[in-house]
Amino acid sequence: MMGTRASIWFSLFVFSLLTSSICSEENESKEFVLTLDRSNFTDTVSKHKFIVVEFYAPWCGHCKSLAPEYEKAASILSSHDPPIVLAKVDASNETNRELANEFEIKGFPTIKILRDGGKAAQEYKGPREAEGIVTYLQKQSGPASLEIKSVEDASNFVGEKKIVVVGVFPKFSGEEFDNYTALAEKLRSDYEFGHTLDAKYLPRGETSVTGPVVRLFKPFDELYVDSKDFEVDALGKFVEESSIPLVTIFDNDPSNHPFVIKFFNNPNAKAMLFMNFSGETADSFRSKYGEVAEHYKGEAISFLLGDLDSSQGAFQYFGLKDDQVPLILIQTTDGTKYLKPNLEVDGIASWLKDYMDGKVPPYRQSEPIPEENKEPVKVVVGDSLEDMVLKSEKNVLLEFYAPWCGHCKSLAPILDEVAISFENDADVVIAKFDATANDYPTGTFNVEGYPTMYFKSASGKIVAYEGDRTKEAIIDFIEKNRDKAAAPQQELAKDEL
């Protein structure tokens, strides 16, 4: 669940920015990315100490955006010493599906780093443009922790815009060092690790630090934090917790994006304040919001501050309007939302207090229930979902769509035909639901992309539709899964006699 959520967030927030760079340079000649399938996957992977595999689906838009970047990275990395091999698997292909299941692929694209001939698998968590992919994979293919031997090493390593973890040790052996190294192996796809014998190489270095100590550098809040607990799990917890900013910033700066992904990956309730970063009142909002975040530190709620300019994906997703900013939207883990539009600086603290005290009613987004609903494909909105689908005594095929989604547009005429073919069947309803403008129970429907189709049988059984998007396949699915109405059942009984 968590992983898939994160990937939809990642898509919404980060991919929306990349679309401009899609398909810039396509190299038609040699393909550097290996194509693998079930027949040669194990053989190929077992030959490599380090190989990267993308699981994709041909219909997935983000996979298409990634493809030229991935290919470009593969071409650059082919001349790395030793070469780093990038491969891809069409996970939508029936024959390869088992492979995808083995790696617990839940969304596309998913990239895995396989080590030791496939004995260890790790999720790729790096950037999605060529240069970023190259840098990330060069680091991933090297040692899990780099030794820092000079001030230059340290300033190259620590940088100014990322989180890095440095272990300071009196010697590179012993239980503390071993535990640190084990943690670095475990978390290497999320963080960069280094180790040194001398704390004075480090930025803001102090001669007083002798170690063993682990120092986490971060480009926000208190800038660095130390831990001396070398128990592996405790150290991991320290790294995870210290690396979430008090307020996560979402704007066009790619160096902020890893923190945005972390924000959406953490299990807390999520408070998101969206405003125009260039507006006159931006600074006062920023500082007040920071105070509030500080106040609720440790209370299972995380804070994000988003720039209107960069948040179009999120606005579409939540059905928010530009003229509602500054606004705060809170989403809890179960998907319940709370909204305060047209916020004023003086109102931030008191609205959050009301929310924490349980005094803010949840916000359910719904378009008005249409007065007429005569088209073959019926329109369902947030306020009619209960009556028309969940509590309906009919068999309902429901499409979750987004108005801007191209695949949904291609599906529309097919759904029309399906609906027309059931026109004389009062027990079957084909319906559509604009999921960008209406809320639905996220526990019941898991919508990770558009279009997503669900089928609810007359007796209330809900199943996801994962077949082909053709008229024949959809009709076939409905016939197989529907509850037989009283009348045809009698006919069947007669036939049997």
**Can you tell me which of 8, 15, 37, 240 binds ligand NAG, judged by CB under 6 A?**
37
Asked whether position 442 contacts ligand NAG by CB under 6 A, the answer is no
For residue 441, which phi and psi values (nearest 5 degrees)? -70, 115
* Nearest of 177, 172, 173 to residue 230 by alpha carbon: 177
Q: Which positions from 234 through 293 interact with ligand NAG, judged by CB under 6 A?
A: 276, 278-279
Name which of residues 75 to 94 contact ligand NAG (CB under 6 A). 93-94
Answer yes or no whether residue 226 interacts with ligand NAG by CB under 6 A. Answer: no
Whichever of 150 and 281 has its CB closer to ligand NAG, that residue is 281
Strand order in the sheet with 192-196: 145-148, 192-196, 164-168, 213-217, 224-227
Cα torsion for 233, 260, 213, 193, to the nearest 10°? Answer: 90
Kindly indicate which of the ranges 28-36, 104-112, 152-160, 470-478 contains the residues binding ligand NAG, using the contact rule CB under 6 A.
Answer: 28-36
Residue 95 makes contact with ligand NAG by CB under 6 A: yes
The torsion angles phi and psi of 342, rounded to 5 degrees, stand at 45, 55
Among residues 6, 63, 105, 183, the one annotated as catalytic is 63
60 is known as an active-site residue: yes
**34 forms part of the interface with ligand NAG (CB under 6 A):** yes
Shorter beta-carbon distance to ligand NAG: residue 95 or 470: 95
Tell me the window of 24-32, 107-115, 227-235, 349-357 that interacts with ligand NAG (CB under 6 A): 227-235
Count the Cβ atoms, other than its own, within 10 Å of residue 294.
12
Min separation Cβ 326 and ligand NAG, Å: 11
**Dihedral sign (CA 179, 152, 220, 265):** negative
Question: Does the active-site annotation cover 408?
Answer: yes
Which residues does 353 contact at the CB level (< 8 Å), separation at least 6? none
Q: Cβ of residue 13: shortest distance to ligand NAG, in angstroms?
A: 17
- The residue nearest ligand NAG at its CB is 230
Kindly tell me which residue out of 65, 141, 179, 242 binds ligand NAG, with binding defined by CB under 6 A: 179
Q: Which of 14, 60, 166, 381 is catalytic?
A: 60
Token duo for residue 81: 């010493």
Alpha-carbon distance of 335 to 445, in angstroms, equals 11
Q: Which of 76, 121, 209, 232 is close enough to bind ligand NAG by CB under 6 A?
A: 232
Of 31, 231, 253, 291, the residue at the interface with ligand NAG (CB under 6 A) is 231
Query: Of the two residues 28 and 334, which places its CB atom closer to ligand NAG in the complex?
Result: 28
**Known catalytic residue at 23:** no
Burial of 361 (0-12, 13-18, 19+ CB in 10 A): exposed
Give the C-alpha separation, 170 to 211, whole Å: 6
- Cβ-in-10-Å burial (0-12, 13-18, 19+) of 228 comes to exposed
Strands 301-307 and 337-340: unpaired
The region of 228-236, 255-263, 352-360, 438-446 touching ligand NAG under the rule CB under 6 A is 228-236
Q: Which residues contact 65 (CB under 8 A, 6 or more apart)?
A: 15, 18, 19, 22, 128
Task: State yes or no: residue 35 binds ligand NAG (CB under 6 A).
Answer: yes
Catalytic residues: 60, 63, 405, 408
Residues forming the site for ligand NAG (CB under 6 A): 34-37, 39-40, 44, 93-95, 175-176, 179, 230-233, 276, 278-279, 308-309
